[in-house]
Homo-oligomer: A and B are copies of this chain.
Amino acid sequence: MATIRDVARLANVSVTTVSNVINSPDKVSPELLARVQTAIDKLGYAPHAAARSLRKRASGLLGLIVGDITNPFFSELFEAVELAAAERGYSVVLCNSNENPAREETHLRMLRTQRIDGLILAPTGAVSMNRAALLAALEIPVVLVDRAMEGLGYDAVVLDNHRAAYDATSHIIGCGHRRIALINGSPTVRTAADRLQGYREALLAAGVAFDADLVRDAGFREQSAYEAALTLLRGPDRPTAIFTTNNLMTIGVLRAVAELGLSCPADVSLVGIDDLPWAEAVSPRLTMVAQPVRAMGEAALDLLARRLAGSHAGPGTTLVMEPRLIVRNSCAAPALESKALSHSKGR
């Protein structure tokens, strides 16, 4: 493959001139510029990224680590991040940790040898000290998405988790429900704690008693949510509505409902956080709290780009994004079994 030297030779100029044509075209006279350009085209010259980044001490690469690329939230996030990065001349190296801390550390090490210029991290699970050290060793700007880690001074883009849960719960209450189960992640992670808090406050605001039996920790995983829903729905005095705090768990609950032969919303109403691409394709159409995923990706990249440009020094900023409740029809008035005999069917 042709090198910058070949181009220089063919165009009868110095390598520096060719380099200038590529990097700062305004520094070279129009005639040389044209001559060099045709030489480039004729040879099909493409700069050698490795050589360039060796010299420039910047790779033009950004890292994005997610827990599960199969999760629509993360694949959309990648889409948005990649697009925004391309606009600024960066390429994105996507790493899928598969929710596995060991793999995440391997990725971190790999990204370190790649000398990425910046990192967007959607941390999964708790933040081990080891990982914090690895992050620090990167010596580059880091932006956290979806989950903030306090005290490390990184920028972050998160959902207003409290409001998301508050809005969802209020909507469910507004439909007439009183026994509302919450299937949540582990309250040791901030995101889940905030969502729990939002749920509780909505209950409080509506004068509905909080019942600890109705909240389950399913660790944001589908299978655990499926199991939790099964026991919840099979138990005595079952909830009339279930609120799940991420898309994976919503799928798990859906599976449980289908398996028990229950119908939604007639037997149980459902609302979840994270919209799904197919939420309008199934019956009932799913009522969900959508995160502004693309905006979050763009915001993260913007934060990163500004750090890299040096226009945003100082301590970490946390951007809080607003959720949006999309009312469809998986949440309706509960059947009035205990209070009356009338049987509400459909709407």
Contact = CB atoms under 8 A, between A and B. Distances in A.
Interface of A: 1, 44, 46-51, 53-54, 59, 69-70, 72, 75-76, 78-79, 82, 86, 91-96, 98, 106, 109-110, 112-115, 137, 139, 251-252, 254-255, 258, 263, 276-278, 280-283, 285
A93 B96 contact: no
B54 A109 contact: no
Contacts of A95: 82
A115 B251 contact: no
A254 B281 CA distance: 5
Given A48-B54, A258-B285, A281-B254, A69 B78 contact: yes
Nearest to A110: B91
A251 B282 CA distance: 9
Contacts of A114: 49, 91
Contacts of A258: 280-283, 285
A70 B75 contact: yes
A47 B53 CA distance: 14
22 contacts: A46-B112, A46-B113, A49-B113, A49-B114, A54-B54, A69-B69, A69-B78, A69-B79, A70-B72, A70-B75, A78-B96, A82-B95, A86-B106, A91-B93, A91-B110, A92-B94, A251-B277, A251-B278, A251-B281, A255-B280, A258-B280, A276-B278
B277 A254 contact: no
Contacts of A278: 251, 254, 276, 278
8 shortest interchain CB distances as A-B pairs: A254-B281, A50-B50, A255-B281, A50-B54, A50-B53, A46-B112, A94-B94, A46-B113
Contacts of A44: 137
A115 B46 CA distance: 9
A280 B72 CA distance: 17
Nearest to A256: B281
A176 B278 CA distance: 29
A213 to B, nearest CB: 25
A277 B115 CA distance: 35
Contacts of A48: 54, 113, 115
Contacts of A50: 49-51, 53-54, 59, 115
